[in-house]
Copies of this chain bind each other. A is one copy, B any other.
Amino acid sequence: MSWTESKQNRHPGNYVPKQPLHIECSIEKALDVIGGKWSFLVLRELFGGTKRFGELQRNISSISPKSLTDTLRHLEENGVLERTAYPTVPVTVEYTLTPKGEDLHRMLKEMKLWAAKWC
């Protein structure tokens, strides 16, 4: 998908950090996961438990199916959620946070605390 590629290009290759590389790389990775336009809204839904495609689409009312798919794929590729398809007719698909995804809660909480304090 183009999103992944473009996000990786967000900081052009000729930037050479002077401090240990893993610092900003890891921050960049975290931003890559939650920084997308819809990512944290989807994550927020899933913190409330497993959800299906249609539920997500309804709860995040202005999202298009394309954007939702893109977001879900991106989150899945990053291992923060899991997609499960059941061979019913019609098909049933569920999205659930992985432990890695659940663990994002601490990060988001800090963001919330910061904003609560300063905004």
Contacts and interface: CB of A to CB of B under 8 A. Distances in A.
Interface of A: 10-16, 18-19, 22-31, 34-35, 37-38, 40-41, 44, 59-63, 79, 100, 103-104, 106-108, 110-119
Contacts of A27: 40, 108, 111-112, 115
Contacts of A79: 118
Contacts of A25: 115
Contacts of A117: 103
B112 A110 contact: no
Contacts of A113: 106
A18 B60 CA distance: 10
B111 A30 contact: yes
B114 A62 contact: no
A107 B116 contact: no
Contact of A14 (B11, B28, B35, B61): B61
A119 B29 contact: yes
A37 B18 contact: no
A43 to B, nearest CB: 10
